[in-house]
A and B are shown apart, each in its own frame.
Chain A
Amino acid sequence: MTKFITILKKPVTGTLISIFFGFILAGVILAFAGYNPFSAFHALITGIIGRPKYLANIVVKSTPLILTGVSVAFAYKMGLFNIGAEGQYIVGALAANLVGIFVNLPAVLEIPLVIAAGVAAGALYGALVGWLKARFKIHEVISGIMLNWIALYFSNWVISLEGISKPNTSGAYPIFSSGWTTFLPEWKSTEAAADFMTNHPYLGDVLRTDFNGGFIFAIALAIIASFVLYRTTKGYQLRAVGDNTDAAEFAGIDVKKNIIHTMLISGAMAGLAGALNIAGNAPHAVMQLAAFEGNGLNGLSVAFIADGSPLGCIFSGFLFGGLLYAGQSIQYMIGAPSEIISILIGTIVFLVALKDVVIVLANKLEAREILKNKNNTQDKDKQVKGGVQPC
C-alpha cells in the first residue's frame, strides 16, 4: 500500500492517468458518433508505427513542438505566460529564410549561420515582450498576442517583396541547399540513391521523408534548459521570482532584468524551432500565412502536458506530434473526423490541470494508512502491557 501511495504521489502518475482517461473519453465520443473506437485506435497505432516513414515524419513534426514547449515551460517557471511563442517562431523562420537566401557558404558555416539568425530573431522578439513588461508593465499576454499578429503580417509582407518572393509560388525563395539539415540532401536526388532506396526499403522509406537533424537540437535543448533551471544560479533566480516575486526582490534578485532575460531565452528557443523548420523541411522557405499554424500555441499544450518540465516536453512533444500526424490516418482509414485528435489532446491537457486530485487522493490514503498503523501498534501495546489503556 505504501508503495502504491508513493507511486501515486509522483507527478508523472497524474499525467499518465490523464492520458489514459483522455483516450477513454475520445473512444466514448467516437462510439457515440458511430465509429468503432477500437478500429480508430488501431488506425492510430498503425499511423504511428505502421511504416518507418511514419515514425520519421512524426519526429519531424514533433521537433518544433518540443522546442516551443520548452520555450513556454521555461518562461512559465518564472510565472510568464509566453503566448507569444507563435510570433517568435514566425520571425525565427523568416530570419533563417532571409539569411539562407542571401548568404551562400559551405554547409559547416551555412547551417549554423541560418540557425543563429533564427535564434537571434526569436530572442529579440521575445526580449521585446520582456522589455515591454519590465519597462512599461504591459502584460505579456497582451503584447504576446499583438506581436503574434504583427509577426504574421510582417512575414507575409517581407516574403512578398521582389527578390525574396519566389515567382508563381505563395512563398519565399528556398534557402541554399548548403543550409539544409535534411540527411544527405544532395545524394538523395542521385541515381545511386534511388537504387539504394529500392534495395533497402526501410532506410529508403525514412530517407524519402524530410527526416533531419533538428530533433537532436530539440532534445539537447530540453536537457540544457533543464540544467539551466535546476543547476545554475540564473535558473534558481528565475524560479525564485516565479514562486514569489516580492520575496525574490527582497532577496536582492533584479526582477526586471530577469524578466527580460527569461523572455530572451524563451524567444530564442521558439526562434530556433522556426529556423530548424526552414533548414530541415521542404520547401525550405516561409509561406504566406492566412492564419497561425499553431507551432507556438501548441507549445502551450506541450508544456502543460509536461507539467512545465523541459525534459517532459521531449515526451509530450513526441506524443503531441505523433497524435497529430497519426490523426490523419484515423480520417483516412475509418473516416472519423481527425478533429477527434484535438479533442483528445485538449482533454489530456484539461485533465492534467486537474491532476492534483491524484495527490489529494494519495494524501488521504496515506492518512488512513498512518491511522491504521497507529491502531495496530496500540493494539500491540495493549497486549504487551496486559490491557492497560495508553493515555
Chain B
Amino acid sequence: MLNTITLIIGITMMYATPMAFAALGGVISELSGVTNIGMEGMMTIGAFVGASVGYFSGNPWLGVICAGLSGGALALFHAIASIEFHADQTVSGVALNLIGPAVALFLCRQAFDGSAVTQPVENKLPKLFGPNPDGILGNLNVDMMVVIALILVLIAWFILYHTKWGLRIRAVGENPAAADTLGVNVKLVRYICVILSGFLAGMGGAAVTLSIVAQFSQTSIAGQGYMALAAVIFGRWLPHGAYLACLLFGFAQALTVVLGGGAVAIPTQIIAMLPYLMTILILVLFVGKSNAPKADGVPYIKGRR
C-alpha cells in the first residue's frame, strides 16, 4: 500500500514538473498583462536545446540554462510583437507554437545528421536521493527539477504578493494606465515578465529531455505546453494555483499508470482519458468567477484610455 502511494506521488511529481515550469511562466506573463499561448513552442525549443547542449557539453545544468535562454529568446519575439507592435497576442502565440517545434526539428536535423532525434545525453540531471536508493526512497527519488520547480513557485508567490516588485507587475496587468501614472515602466515590466515566462517554459522543456527521458524527439513535448496553459487558467492566475493544477494533471496521469498496471480490466484508452475528464468535472463542480488580470491580452498604448 505504502509502495503504491509513494509510487503515485513520484509519478505525479514527474509528470507535473515540466508543466509546472511553463505554467509558472504563464502566470507571471499573464499577471503583467500579456497572454502567452506559445508555451508549447517555447517548451519544445527548450527541450531540444537542453538535450543537445547536455549532449555536446556533458553538463546537464548548462543544458537547463541554455534551454531557458532559448525559450526566453522565442518569448522575446512574442514580447516585441505584443508590447511594441500591439499585436493580437493570441495570433502571435499560435505562431510561436508553429515556429518553436519547427525550428527545434530543423536544428536537430542540422546538428544530428538529418535525424529527428538527438543522441541520448550521457549525464542526466541528478536525483534527489542520489543514484540508487533503496525501498520507498526509490519511488520518491524524483529528479532535482521537481525540487527546483517547487522552490520557484514559492519564490514567485512571495515576490508577486509580498514585495513591491510583485505589486508593480500585478498593477501593470490590472491597470497599466494607473501604473504608468505612478511611474512604473509598463513596457519594461512586461518585457521582463514575458521573457521570464519563456525562460521558465524552456526550462520545463529541458525538464523532460534532461531528466525524464534522455533525448529530444518529436514527441518529447506533446501537449504539455497546452496543458500548462490550461493550468494557468485552472489555477486562477495564481502561481500556487497553477502549480496545484499541474499536480492534479500529474496525479491523474499517475492514476492511469497505476490503474493500467493490469489489476483492473478497464481499457487503457479509457484510463488515459481520466486526467482530462477529471479536470472538466472539477471545474464543473467548483464553479467560480475567473479572476483573470483585467488588462490581460490588452496592448497598452500610452495616452489611450
The CA-CA distance from A341 to B91 in the complex, in Å, is: 18
Beta-carbon contacts under 8 Å, A290-342 to B: 290-292, 297, 300-301, 304, 335, 337, 339-342
Do A354 and B81 form a contact, CB below 8 Å, given A33-B110, A156-B269? yes
Determine the interface band of chain B, counting residues with CB < 8 A from chain A: 35 or more
The CA-CA distance from A347 to B92 in the complex, in Å, is: 9
Do A343 and B103 form a contact, CB below 8 Å, given A138-B284, A356-B87? yes
Contact A142 B269 (CB under 8 A): no
Does A150 sit at the interface, judged by CB under 8 A? yes
Q: Which residues on the B side are within 8 Å of A154 (C-beta)?
A: 269, 273
Contact B110 A149 (CB under 8 A): no
Beta-carbon contacts under 8 Å, A136-153 to B: 136-139, 141-143, 145-147, 149-150, 153
Partner of A160, one of B102, B103, B106, B267: B267
Min CB gap B229→A, angstroms = 6
The CA-CA distance from A297 to B223 in the complex, in Å, is: 11
Q: Do most interface residues of chain B lie in helix, strand or loop, or is the interface mixed?
A: helix
Q: Which residues on the A side are within 8 Å of B103 (C-beta)?
A: 339, 343
Does B157 sit at the interface, judged by CB under 8 A? no
Contact B94 A301 (CB under 8 A): yes
| Interface mask (B79-104 → A, CB under 8 Å = 1, otherwise 0) | 00100011111111011111101110
Contacts A/B (CB < 8 Å), 14 sampled: A137-B288, A137-B289, A141-B230, A142-B283, A145-B223, A145-B226, A145-B227, A149-B272, A153-B272, A291-B219, A301-B95, A337-B106, A342-B99, A343-B106
Contact A339 B106 (CB under 8 A): yes
Q: Do most interface residues of chain A lie in helix, strand or loop, or is the interface mixed?
A: helix
Does B182 sit at the interface, judged by CB under 8 A? no
| Interface mask (B256-297 → A, CB under 8 Å = 1, otherwise 0) | 000000000001011011011101100110011110000000
Min CB gap A245→B, angstroms = 14
Do A149 and B223 form a contact, CB below 8 Å, given A81-B90, A154-B269, A353-B87? yes
| Interface mask (A346-389 → B, CB under 8 Å = 1, otherwise 0) | 11011011101100000000000000000000000000000000
Q: Which residues on the B side are within 8 Å of A291 (C-beta)?
A: 219, 222-223
Contact A345 B98 (CB under 8 A): yes
The CA-CA distance from A47 to B127 in the complex, in Å, is: 50
Partner of A136, one of B88, B94, B273, B287: B287
Does B24 sit at the interface, judged by CB under 8 A? no
Contact A346 B85 (CB under 8 A): no
Contact A353 B88 (CB under 8 A): yes
Q: Which residues on the A side are within 8 Å of B233 (C-beta)?
A: 139, 141-142
Min CB gap B207→A, angstroms = 20
Q: Which residue of the partner chain A has the closest CB to B275? A: A149
Does A101 sit at the interface, judged by CB under 8 A? no
Contact B105 A353 (CB under 8 A): no
Partner of A339, one of B91, B105, B269, B288: B105
